[in-house]
Amino acid sequence: MLNSTPFRLGQTIRLTTFQIGSAMAEILTASVWNRVMIVDLKMDATPVALLLALQYLLMPISLWAGHRSDTVPLWGRRRTSYIWLGRGLMVLALPLLGISVRRFEAGDTSGGWLLAMISFLIFGVGKLISGGVYLALVRESAPPARQGIAIGIAETVLIACFAIFGFTFGRWMPHYEELIFWEMILLVAVMAGFFWWFAVVRQERMDAAAPSPAHKDNVWETVAKFRQILQDRRIALFFTFLALATLFAWMQDAILEPFGGEVLGLDARQTTRFTGYWGTGTILMLLLGFVIWRRQKPEDQAGKASVGLVVMAVGLFLFGLTGLWEMERLLMPALLVFGLGFGVYTFGGLSLMAVMSPDKDAAAYLALWTVCVLLSKGVGTAVGGILRDLFILRLHLGEAVGYGTIFILSGVGLLLSVWILRYVDVPGFARDSGRVSLADGFAAGAD
C-alpha cells in the first residue's frame, strides 16, 4: 500500500500542484463570475449565491464517490480514474458559464440562468466526484505519521494559490469585457486540466487498485456506518462545531466583492484582490504554525482553533464597521485580521479533524468531515446572498447597513462555534480511539 512507503517530499509537492488548477477554477467561478453577475450585470445576489452553493448541496455524491473509490476500481484504478473523471466534467462546464453570461447580455435571462445552472451542476458533480478521492490519494501517499503533514501541505498550497490568482485575475480584468472573460475561461480550462493530469499521473500503485475483501459495494452499509459514527456524542458535537464555524466563516463569500463595489465604490480590479489579501494572511499564519507548533500534539489544538475563530470574528466585526461607517481605511486591516485568524483556525482545525478520524475507519470519518465542511460552506454562501437581498432589496435598510449587519452576524456566529468547541472532549476521544500514540508520531515526524 502507498502509506507503507517512506514520506517523499517531491511526490507530495507534485501531488499538490493539483491545487493550482483547483484554485484557478474556484476563483473564476466563485469570484470573477460572482462579481460580473452582481455588480456588472446587476443581478440579484440570491440566485447567484444559490448557484454557487449548488455544488455543495449535492454533497451525497461525494459520499457515493468516496465509497465507490474505496470498493470498486474504475478503469483499473481506485483513485486516479475517479479524479480524472470528475475534473474532466469541471473542464467541460467552464465554457457553458461563458455562454450563459453572453445570454444575459443579450437579454435572454431565462436562457442565461438555465445555462448557468447546467454549468454549475456539471462543475459541482465533477468537483464532488474527485475532491474527496484526491484527498484520499494524498493521505495514502504518506506513512501514517506524515499523513497530516501531506494533507496540510496540500491545503496550504490551495490557499496560497487562491491569493495568487485572486491578484492575477483582478489585474487581468479590472472591468468586465466579454473577450477577456472568454480568454480567462479557455486559459483556466487548459491550465487546470493540465495540472489535474500532471499531479496524479502515475501516483497510484497498481497494487492499490484491488478493494479490501472486508468492504462490500453496499451504499446502505455506508449509511449505517455514518449513523453509528454520529451516535458518539463527541463526534456529534464536533460535527455541530465544524458546521457552524464553516457556515459563518463563509457567509461573506458571495457578498464580500459586491460589498466592495456597491458600498465602497471599488472596481473589479480591486475587489477581486480581496481573496488574495486575506488569503495571504492565511498562508503566512499557516507557514508560521508549521514552524512554531509542529511539535505539539494534534489533540491539543482546540485552543488554537478557538483563538483563530475569535480573531476571524474580530475581522468580520471590522468588515461590519467598514460598511456601517463607510470607512474604506478599515477594509485592509479587516482583510488581514480575518486572514490571519483563518490561518490559525485552519491549522488547529486540520489537526482536530485528523484526531477525530481513528485509523480503523479513517476514510469514513474524513468523508464525514469533508461533507460537513463543504455542505456548510455552501449553505453559508447561500445564506449570505439571501440576507443581502433581504436586508437591502426587501427591507430597504440600505447597502451600508445591510452588508454591515451580515458581517456582524457572521462574527457572532463564529463566537457561538467557539463556545460549542469547549464541550468537545478531543483528548478523551483520542485516548479512546487509540490515536494518542499516532499523534505522538505525527508530532515527532514533523521535526
Rounded CA separation 295/39 (Å): 47
Least confidently predicted of 62-76, 113-127, 413-427: 62-76
| Max Cα distance, the chain (Å) | 63
pLDDT band (50, 70, 90) for residue 447 = very low
Burial code of 310-336, b = ≥16 C-beta within 10 A, e = fewer? bbbbbbbbbbbbbbbeeeeebbeebbb
| Spans of all domains in the chain | 2-204+219-445
Name, of 198-207, 284-293, 294-303, the range with top average pLDDT: 284-293
Rounded average pLDDT over 388-416: 90
Rounded CA separation 436/377 (Å): 30
C-alpha cell at 264: 465602497
Contacting residues for 178 by C-beta, under 8 A, at least 6 apart: 101, 102, 105
pLDDT at 7 over 70: no
Residue 147: what pLDDT?
A: 63
Residue 446: what pLDDT?
A: 32
Q: Any bridge partners for residue 77, and if so which?
A: 74
261 to 114, 272, 274, 318: CA distances (angstroms): 26, 10, 11, 17
Task: Report DSSP state, residue 211.
Answer: P
Does domain 2-204+219-445 correspond to CATH entry 1.20.1250.20? yes
pLDDT at 420 over 90: yes
CB-based burial of residue 48 (10 Å sphere; 0-12 exposed, 13-18 middle, 19+ buried)? buried
Least confidently predicted of 214-218, 261-265, 295-299, 429-433: 214-218
Q: pLDDT (tens digit, 9 = 90+) per residue, 22-53?
A: 989 988 887 788 878 877 788 877 788 778 77
Average per-residue pLDDT in the chain?
A: 79
pLDDT band (50, 70, 90) for residue 336 = very high
244 touches 413 (CB < 8 A) = yes
Greater model confidence, 289 or 4: 289
281 to 14, 64, 285, 288, 313: CA distances (angstroms): 24, 35, 6, 11, 15
pLDDT at 148 over 90: no
Q: pLDDT (tens digit, 9 = 90+) per residue, 41-87?
A: 888 777 887 787 777 677 777 767 766 776 777 776 777 888 889 89
Rounded CA separation 422/225 (Å): 26
Rounded average pLDDT over 270-291: 78
pLDDT band (50, 70, 90) for residue 366 = low
How many C-beta atoms lie closer than 10 Å to residue 224's C-beta?
11
